Amino acid sequence: TVSTTTRAEMEKSALERTRAIASTTVERVKAVREKATQRVADIQDKARQQMAQKLVTQFDNLNTTWTDNFAQVLKRYSAMVQKMQSRAAIATANGKDATAANVPILAAQNAIVAAQTAVTAQVEKTYTVDTSTISPTISTTTPKGQEELMRGLKTSFQNLHTTLFKDLFALRDGPMKAARKAVQDALTALGKVPKVDEDNATSTKSNSNQ
């Protein structure tokens, strides 16, 4: 059986929960981003400056896009598991043995919760240029200073890109993949319960007439 507390937790919108976590980091991100913006403003070439300014916000935006998508996927998985729980419960009430399906269904639920936790942790991460690592040895008003500034920014952006996608791919290929497989395994196990849906229509009709 599945505890009421756990079921209620799964029913929450993963997107809303991750958004709530994200809101707590806004001020911290804002402060770091302002410093990055000030450093980018030192770029004299306007075209390069505009490109760099876009990159300052791009990585956090990508993280938000990916994690929002993951949250929506987990929301669908959660709904699927709840339907499986309902089917298994009806089958049991009608005298069928759904024991073999209950274990993988619970495993799927746990995998989804674990993935939701991992997505929330990913939402809390920020990907903004740390300007403290970019310190030209001479004034940025000189050509050489501009070159050093651009090299520093380029390296920082490349490092951010590498780190961001390493984290996102680890989440996709780790907890998200595990949740998907657990849900598929639960569906397969439930499908093996003899005539699992045989009395669903009758039960539904009976309940609707009460």
- pLDDT 10s digits, 159-188: 899 999 999 999 999 999 999 999 999 999
Q: What percent of the chain has pLDDT over 90?
A: 38
> Are 183 and 85 spatial neighbours (Cβ–Cβ below 8 Å)?
no
**Higher-confidence position of 94 and 112:** 112
Q: Give residue-wise pLDDT tens across range 110-122.
A: 999 999 999 999 9
The pLDDT value recorded for residue 140 is: 74
pLDDT at 137 exceeding the cut of 80: no
Q: Give residue-wise pLDDT tens across range 27-86.
A: 666 766 777 777 777 787 888 878 887 887 788 889 989 999 999 999 999 999 999 999
**Higher-confidence position of 27 and 128:** 128
Give pTM, 2 decimals.
0.75
The pLDDT value recorded for residue 26 is: 63
Of 101, 88, 97, 100, give the one whose Cα is nearest residue 200: 88
